[in-house]
Structure 1
């Protein structure tokens, strides 16, 4: 058993982990760090998912890192291009040399006596246990289980004579040419799979219990391509990024404030897309816009497949699988050679790690998150967690910047331990993923940490607000305890100074 010590230990080499490492190297150049990755390659989600058509569901000008512009005019990028972008970012910043692959973290224990974390990880090959110690631990593992996706137990599934393939475990070289395919689900994965598979399959049916709000989006941004011809690349990127953030924020805010008007808008766009060739009941959800995440349709490809007859939609409930397909509760039978349950993710925090503080397990569902970064009552530990209503990386970037600011602040004042403390009973009902009503979030409410009811414990899902808080507000705000001591004066001073600015920019 070997043991290595680092100032900062990052768990996960996906988009968040690579971003955190790059910020750390740029802003805390004297700190030693390592990234532990259980897989044999970086990329996280973009290395795991291999199903046909896998792509971003957010525009790449906001999904790209703020320190490394996404170039070109492609708005929605395929999975391989995104993974390559992350890989190149790691190499250009020299963080690829700090990744240790094939290590599955098993335990993480904080010792107040030693003022450090002890982390054990098991080698994928050979099974040897390695031990690491670190002054600061950063979880960059996303929010779902990489080993398995969510799949209900369908009645009669054992009777089906064809193939059942979950998108999270797509077999290499699956032959679906000329075959009848049923995709169960109506989320981003299903919306991507159906038109892509329809190009080769005999027919693809999207079977949904309830519709999802859809938004067609061109895969190429002609305005950005035009800007890139007349402006420096970085300036064109900043303009495009600011525009896209503003549009995404506007759509979200209007959906929350004027749901009926936005519902009419979204449905009118879809009605124009299908042009009378599909029943609008398949596109009319029974919930308000942004109660669940909006799904993007690249170049309207789903609508094209439906209008051509290569694909169709069934809105119904499953009675049971049969030998030849699926029988619906309406009595209709869907024939299938391949059934794909695109039924969502299995939510999991910290990659399944159960951290402990001085021997006592940290129960995440009982915890609230400080500024959506630090865990209440847990020393020197953070989670990089992105947005659910706009691009994940927007929040991952500024959360990483905040952590670097915090680490540098601790060095400046000579502190070794920081702990966020909730002394105002701020525990709320919403989880860290917000108030979305998506099934995969509802299923995991008993596993997810919570947001607070006010102050830095309540997540805003507002990028502009978070930029102000995470980049500019003083580190010492009265909620953080450094080496067992809190700074009340700093809290009162910063609150008083920033209150007029907050009111002027964002309202009360």
Structure 2
């Protein structure tokens, strides 16, 4: 359900007159998915009117809103980048480099004229009588009401709240005399020079922040409840470098390297299920190589997870910088649980006190389903948890709408591109059929199908999903009624989806 506090704060002023603008397609979000969607609409479905509505002051999504030190991708840019635009930098890129790349897409394809910044959508209502979506929102810079109608709604706003990270409530937090910060809302005035810093968490964000602040800090301690897996390696791609030495065209390099990485990822994922113990040994060998022999004592308690590889996302650590910081003595790892916060730091359940001037809670984020927008269909409030997903992008009872939700074990943009192809093909099919409405519905053979949570927690179980699973649509037992998380299957399945299958209902 939508966050009522957020909605109350952003509720449009009904007393103000708002001009209604109409577009064939409204794209919500100008992050990596939304900009890609705009490109695909322009190239695959020219002539359709569309607008991209973005609540922030500029494009980029995560790469704009996250300001913490060292912010970088945890996927390689050959696959996180668009398939249509070659990536020419290092595989792991900074937020600035990613936004520069996105800006080139915007400029090269004249997309800026389609984007409206500081437009926060508050409600989206479908009318079966008019076969239209009506979106209402506010201009965050002026407070004025905005209103749009659209034949088709393309949700590209991501899957978590940008304005607030997730921080558990620990006892005694109010007694701590230092500063407590979440990476998602990193203060611009935070001075960590010469300070003792404790970073709570061991995911990709912690692995990014720690080496970025270790040099200036007195010391940084990563406090984790349990270890996680990492892939430390050089931030370079030997194949790409070789092809460039041979003066191969960048378009070819992008495609060749992209295919090689995807092949290697498919093999790695398969091995994670079929020979998890060997994969675990391989991952730990990479950690050991960067820690060095003097830190062998750190491996077992701090870098040896108890779960099978790929049950949670594995962060790439470029050039092993996290482990080099530990090896150099600038950072350390403590595996323990928090008893409570105290004036000078954190009291652990073991009885030890971790002294700190600054505590960074790299503890995840809040799941946001459809941007916390209040949806309604024919005047009835819509709870997406009551719907069943069609291939993780459409939902029963929700016409003329697609949601982009990427992959957990592969780059997000791979699926954004596939979904964009599907949307453009679906819009063309509707035009050919002379219809204005399309939805999905369980077929007669699906009526007794068992309904399950959005994803199997035995397969993938990060904290943000477990906390927010009750907000997400249901999946079915059949692959067409679930987000399979399988790019290597979907890259062939999506182009072959039969748009006249009985699961699609036109009107």
Q: TM-score range by the shorter chain?
A: over 0.9
- Equivalent of 1:155 in 141, 166, 171: 171
Q: Is the contact between residue 454 and residue 482 of structure 2 (CA under 8 Å) also seen in structure 1? A: no
Aligned 1:183-202 pairs, distance under 5 A? 183-202=199-218
Structure 2 vs 1, CA of residues 427 and 139 (structure 1 numbering), >3 Å: closer, same or farther?
farther
Q: Is the contact between residue 27 and residue 34 of structure 2 (CA under 8 Å) also seen in structure 1? A: yes
TM-score by length of 2: 0.93
Give 3-state SS (helix, strand or coil) of 2:160's partner. Answer: coil
Give 3-state SS (helix, strand or coil) of 1:189's partner. Answer: helix
Question: What are the superposed Cα offsets for residues 416-451 of structure 1, whole Å, 9 maximum, x if unpaired?
Answer: 100111131345324159741111111111111232
Q: Which residue of 2 aligns with 1:373?
A: 393
Matched, 1:137 2:153: yes
Q: Is the contact between residue 293 and residue 388 of structure 1 (CA under 8 Å) also seen in structure 2? A: yes
Measured on the aligned residues, the alpha-carbon RMSD in Å equals: 1.4
Q: Which residue of 2 aligns with 1:67?
A: 84
Q: Is the contact between residue 178 and residue 344 of structure 2 (CA under 8 Å) also seen in structure 1? A: yes
- Equivalent of 1:217 in 233, 252, 259: 233
CA distance in 1 between counterparts of 2:175 and 2:352 reads: 18
CA distance in 1 between counterparts of 2:403 and 2:386 reads: 16
Structure 2 vs 1, CA of residues 148 and 166 (structure 1 numbering), >3 Å: closer, same or farther?
same
Q: Which residue of 2 aligns with 1:322?
A: 342
CA distance in 2 between counterparts of 1:20 and 1:323 reads: 49
Structure 2 vs 1, CA of residues 123 and 433 (structure 1 numbering), >3 Å: closer, same or farther?
farther
Q: Is the contact between residue 427 and residue 450 of structure 1 (CA under 8 Å) also seen in structure 2? A: no
**More displaced stretch, 44-53 vs 222-231:** 222-231
Q: Which residue of 2 aligns with 1:165?
A: 181
Per-residue deviation at 1:260?
2.3
Give 3-state SS (helix, strand or coil) of 1:172's partner. Answer: coil
Q: Which residue of 1 aligns with 2:298?
A: 279
Give 3-state SS (helix, strand or coil) of 2:374's partner. Answer: coil
CA distance in 2 between counterparts of 1:257 and 1:198 reads: 38
CA distance in 2 between counterparts of 1:440 and 1:458 reads: 19
Give 3-state SS (helix, strand or coil) of 1:431's partner. Answer: coil
Matched, 1:304 2:324: yes
Q: Which residue of 1 aligns with 2:48?
A: 31
Q: Which residue of 1 aligns with 2:244?
A: 228
Q: Is the contact between residue 141 and residue 349 of structure 1 (CA under 8 Å) also seen in structure 2? A: no
Matched, 1:431 2:449: no
Q: Is the contact between residue 369 and residue 432 of structure 1 (CA under 8 Å) also seen in structure 2? A: no
Matched, 1:126 2:142: yes
Per-residue deviation at 1:284?
0.8
CA distance in 2 between counterparts of 1:172 and 1:13 reads: 24
Give 3-state SS (helix, strand or coil) of 1:444's partner. Answer: helix
**More displaced stretch, 262-271 vs 97-106:** 262-271
> Where does the alignment leave 5 or more consecutive residues of structure 1 unmatched?
484-508
Matched, 1:78 2:94: yes
Aligned 1:415-430 pairs, distance under 5 A? 415-423=435-443, 424-425=446-447, 426=449, 428-430=451-453
Q: Which residue of 2 aligns with 1:442?
A: 466
Question: What are the superposed Cα offsets for residues 182-207 of structure 1, whole Å, 9 maximum, x if unpaired?
Answer: 00000000011111110111100000
Q: Which residue of 2 aligns with 1:410?
A: 430
Q: Is the contact between residue 189 and residue 342 of structure 1 (CA under 8 Å) also seen in structure 2? A: yes
Which stretches of structure 1, 4 residues or longer, exceed 4 Å deviation after superposition? none
CA distance in 1 between counterparts of 2:450 and 2:362 reads: 34
Matched, 1:465 2:489: yes
CA distance in 1 between counterparts of 2:492 and 2:71 reads: 34
- Equivalent of 1:291 in 311, 328, 348: 311
Q: Is the contact between residue 13 and residue 42 of structure 1 (CA under 8 Å) also seen in structure 2? A: yes
State the aligned residue count. 482
CA distance in 2 between counterparts of 1:451 and 1:243 reads: 32
Q: Is the contact between residue 432 and residue 448 of structure 1 (CA under 8 Å) also seen in structure 2? A: no
